[in-house]
Amino acid sequence: MSSFSCLAASACLLLYFFIDVTSGHAPSPRPEPRASLSAKPPASSSQSSTSPATTPTESAGAPLAEVRSLLEKGSTSEADHLVRQYLQTHPDSADGHFLLGHNLFREIQSEARLETPLQGVQVLGAGVPPARHGEEKARASLAEFTAGAKFHDPSAADLKVVALDYVLLGDYVDADKWLTKMLLWTPSDADGWYLLGRTKYNENRFAEAVDAFQRCLKLDLRNLKAEDNLGLSYAGLGRREEAAAAYQQAIDWQSQAALKNPGPYIDFGDLLLDENRSEEAVSYLLQAVEIAPRESRPHELLGKAYTRLDQLPKAQMELEKALQLSPQSANLHCMVAPVYRKQGFIDKAKLEYERCSALAGSHSVPQTPRP
């Protein structure tokens, strides 16, 4: 199974998506008590919660307009201060609560970017484990949406952000629910279909994931991430030929790109390894390493391929690189131990077996998700 299938992928997989926060309301999320939510769609795609239908307290929107401006500029700290100040005097402001919810999600994104080395290519979530403070902010974001939903109906943009908060918390069922509802209102949202496909995949609902990614590709014909994840979904269904075709298509689409996405190369290499085609896998995985040298997954898979080819020094080198990038991965310690043993490095092998056992019984870092 690809790295995308790991349970903790939720915490990283969406941290870099840029969400439009200029419109603004949200549904009731699940924190207790769950508030009831009117599921009425917005009057139009441009509807704002500062519409004529809002309460008189909402009409004093100059501070909130400034908050939106700050969010557009990425000034989340200033936006946070201003919107909280506004809510002290306008506690019944739907816009205020929703904008704070949006801002908290943006803060999670910003913090993840600071923790992630890009190395010339945007590897989404590479090596970044789910941070506890990130989960706390996701819950705080949902709490603000819950508060705002008491005063105003949600918009499609809010439904999307609430869904992303649930993804960050690993709650794919609720993420699926809100993304599905959002797409009933905005069926031409290609990114929404992509996110729903990712969520369906993490629920192991591969056939529905295929449908979502295909809907995305109809709206965005050369969406490389959707094509790559379509391949992952086909692989989940055991449709290997279709998976390989999707990976190859994604690779072909970026053949002339200055900055490439390593995902299709990694996933194709993984598929070839599953089919015991290790030599073929190596060529794709080497390209993935060249594109994203700071992502542990291609190094791990190269180590696996070289081990099968009995090229143990190369396997050792790649697994050690993977461990440098993901030192808390129990799986990597378990993989490198027999490689040391077979080469006669008994002490190193013993140490890695011990680390493998210790991490396997604790909360080790899972495999790195990708877009």
Assigned domain for 145 exists: yes
Q: What is the mean pLDDT of residues 72-77?
A: 92
Q: Which of 64-73, 295-304, 362-371 has the highest mean pLDDT?
A: 295-304
Tell me: do 3 and 141 sit in the same domain. yes
Tell me: do 283 and 222 sit in the same domain. no
Tell me: do 202 and 344 sit in the same domain. no
Tell me: do 202 and 107 sit in the same domain. no
Q: Tell me which residue has tokens 């794709």.
A: 284
Tell me: do 83 and 143 sit in the same domain. yes
Inform me whether the pLDDT recorded for 54 exceeds 60: no
Higher pLDDT pick, 155 / 212 = 212
Q: How many domains does one find in the chain?
A: 3
By mean pLDDT, which of 40-49, 97-106, 131-140, 298-307 is the weakest? 40-49
Q: What pLDDT, on the 0 to 100 scale, is given for residue 55? A: 33
Assigned domain for 180 exists: no
- Measured CA to CA, the distance from residue 298 to residue 272 in angstroms comes to 13
Q: What is the mean pLDDT of residues 236-246?
A: 98
Tell me: do 247 and 277 sit in the same domain. no
Assigned domain for 178 exists: no
Indicate the residue among 227, 257, 287 that finishes a domain. Answer: 257
Q: Over the stretch 214-240, which tens digit does the pLDDT of each residue have?
A: 999 999 999 999 999 999 999 999 999
Inform me whether the pLDDT recorded for 133 exceeds 90: no
Q: Over the stretch 134-159, which tens digit does the pLDDT of each residue have?
A: 899 999 999 999 999 999 988 889 98
Inform me whether the pLDDT recorded for 108 exceeds 50: yes
CATH code for the domain in which residue 238 is found:
1.25.40.10
Tell me: do 142 and 197 sit in the same domain. no
% of the chain residues with pLDDT over 70: 75
Q: Tell me which residue has tokens 């690779």.
A: 251
Assigned domain for 136 exists: yes
Assigned domain for 303 exists: yes
Tell me: do 125 and 236 sit in the same domain. no
Q: What is the mean pLDDT of residues 299-312?
A: 98
Tell me: do 161 and 20 sit in the same domain. yes
Tell me: do 281 and 358 sit in the same domain. yes
Inform me whether the pLDDT recorded for 119 exceeds 70: no
Q: What pLDDT, on the 0 to 100 scale, is given for residue 299? A: 98
Confidence of residue 62 (pLDDT cuts 50, 70, 90): confident
Q: What does the block give as tokens for 266?
A: 């990694």
Confidence of residue 40 (pLDDT cuts 50, 70, 90): very low
Q: What is the mean pLDDT of residues 26-44?
A: 38
Indicate the residue among 110, 134, 169 that finishes a domain. Answer: 169
Indicate the residue among 234, 257, 280 that finishes a domain. Answer: 257
% of the chain residues with pLDDT over 90: 71
Mean per-residue pLDDT of the chain: 82
Tell me: do 23 and 156 sit in the same domain. yes
- Measured CA to CA, the distance from residue 295 to residue 370 in angstroms comes to 10
Assigned domain for 177 exists: no
Q: Over the stretch 153-178, which tens digit does the pLDDT of each residue have?
A: 888 899 899 999 999 999 999 999 99
Tell me: do 248 and 294 sit in the same domain. no
Q: What pLDDT, on the 0 to 100 scale, is given for residue 113? A: 67
Confidence of residue 289 (pLDDT cuts 50, 70, 90): very high
Q: What does the block give as tokens for 314?
A: 């190369």
Coil, strand or helix at 31 = coil
Domain of residue 240 covers 187-257
Within 13 Å of residue 228, how many CA atoms lie on the same side as its CB?
A: 24
b/e string for 70-94 if b means 16 or more Cβ within 10 A? bbeeebbebbbebbeebbeebeebb
Assigned domain for 330 exists: yes
Q: Are 186 and 192 in contact (CB under 8 A)?
A: yes
Assigned domain for 273 exists: yes
Q: What pLDDT, on the 0 to 100 scale, is given for residue 87? A: 96
Inform me whether the pLDDT recorded for 4 exceeds 50: no
